[in-house]
Amino acid sequence: MIRLLASLLALLLPLTAMAQEKVLRAVMHADVRVIDPVWTTQTIANIHGALVYDTLFGNDADQKPQPQMVGKYEISPDRLTYTFTLRDGLKFHDGTPVTTKDVIASLKRWGAKDGVGQRLMGYVTSMEAVDDKTFKMVLREPYGMVLESLGKSGSSIAAIMREKDALTDPQQQVKESVGSGPYIFAKDQWVPGSKAVYLKNKDYQPRSEPPSSFAGGKIPGVDRIELVWISDPQTAMSALINGEIDFYENPTNDFLPLLEKAKGVKLLKTGKIDSTQGMIRLNHLQPPFDNIKARQAMYYLINQEDFLRTIVGDPKYYKVCPGLLTCGGPYENDGGTHWMKEYNPKKAGQLMKEAGYKGEPITVLAATDHATITPATQVLISAMREAGLNVDVQSMDWGSVVSRRAKKDPPAQGGWNIFVTTSGGVGSSNPVLHTWIGAACDKGLFGWPCDPKVEELRNAFGMAATEADRQRIAKELQTEAMDDVVFLPFGQWDTPLAYRADKISGIVPNTGLAVLWGITKK
The 10 Å CB-count burial string (b at 16+, else e) for 497-512 is bbbbeebbeebbbbbb
Of 256, 222, 274, residue with least CA distance to 506 = 222
C-alpha to C-alpha distance for 318 and 276, rounded to whole angstroms:
9
Q: 135 or 185, CB closer to another protein? A: 185
Near another protein by CB under 8 A: residue from 126, 194, 368, 390:
194
Indicate whether 17 belongs to the interface with another protein (CB under 8 A).
no
- The answer to the question of residue 42 lying near another protein (CB under 8 A) is yes
* Cβ partners under 8 Å of residue 514, min gap 6: 28, 47, 249, 497
| 242 binds another protein, rule: CB under 8 A | yes
Is 320 a residue that touches another protein (CB under 8 A)? no
The torsion angles phi and psi of 461, rounded to 5 degrees, stand at -60, -45
230 binds another protein (CB under 8 A): yes
Site for another protein in 379-398 (CB under 8 A): 396-397
x/- track of binding to another protein for residues 426-465 (CB under 8 A): ---------xx-----xxxxx-------------------
- The answer to whether 392 and 446 have CB atoms below 8 angstroms apart is no
Considering the rule CB under 8 A, would residue 49 count as an interface residue with another protein? no
* Residue (96 or 238) nearer to another protein, CB: 238
Binding flag, residue 29, another protein (CB under 8 A)? no
Q: How many residues bind another protein (CB under 8 A)?
A: 66
Figure out which of the listed residues 48, 109, 113, 500 binds another protein, where binding follows CB under 8 A. Answer: 113
Residue 3 touching another protein (CB under 8 A): yes
Are residues 510 and 497 in contact, defined by beta-carbon separation less than 8 angstroms? no
Residue 13 sits in the site that holds another protein (CB under 8 A)? yes
Q: What is d(CA 268, CA 17) in angstroms, rounded to the nearest whole number?
A: 33
Q: Strand 391-396 to strand 488-493: parallel, antiparallel, or no bridges (unpaired)?
A: unpaired
Binds another protein (CB under 8 A): choice among 74, 141, 169, 203: 169
User: Binder to another protein among 16, 19, 20, 171 (CB under 8 A)?
Assistant: 171
CB of 87 to another protein, least distance (A): 30
- The helix/strand/coil state of 175 is coil
Report the Cα–Cα distance between both ends of the chain, in Å, rounded.
26
- Asked whether position 368 contacts another protein by CB under 8 A, the answer is no
Q: How far is the CB of 83 from another protein (least distance, A)?
A: 30
User: What is the closest distance, in whole angstroms, from the C-beta atom of residue 264 to another protein in the complex?
Assistant: 13
With binding defined as CB under 8 A, does residue 110 bind another protein? no
Query: Which span (145-153, 223-231, 290-298, 375-383) binds another protein, by CB under 8 A?
Result: 223-231
Query: According to the binding rule CB under 8 A, does residue 502 interact with another protein?
Result: no
- Residue 354 CB neighbour total at 10 angstroms: 12
Vertex 194 angle, CA 190 and 198, to 5°: 40
**Residue nearer to another protein on the CB measure, 345 or 489:** 489
Helices (H), ranges, 70-218: 100-113, 115-121, 146-150, 163-166
Where on the phi/psi map is residue 500: left (φ > 0), alpha (ψ -120 to 50), or beta?
beta
Q: Which run of H or of E encompasses 492? A: strand 488-493
SS3 content of the chain, % helix, strand, coil (to 5): 35, 20, 45
Q: Is 234 in the site for another protein (CB under 8 A)?
A: yes
Q: Beta strand pairing status for 224-228 and 23-27? A: parallel
191 binds another protein (CB under 8 A): yes
Candidates 406, 412, 465, 502; binder of another protein (CB under 8 A) is: 406
Instruction: For residue 31, state whether it binds another protein (rule: CB under 8 A).
Output: yes
Give the interface with another protein as residue ranges (CB under 8 A): 1-3, 5-6, 9-10, 13, 31, 33-35, 39-43, 45, 113, 115, 155-156, 169, 171-173, 175, 190-195, 228-232, 234-236, 238-239, 241-242, 244, 369, 396-397, 399-400, 402-406, 408, 421, 423, 435-436, 442-446
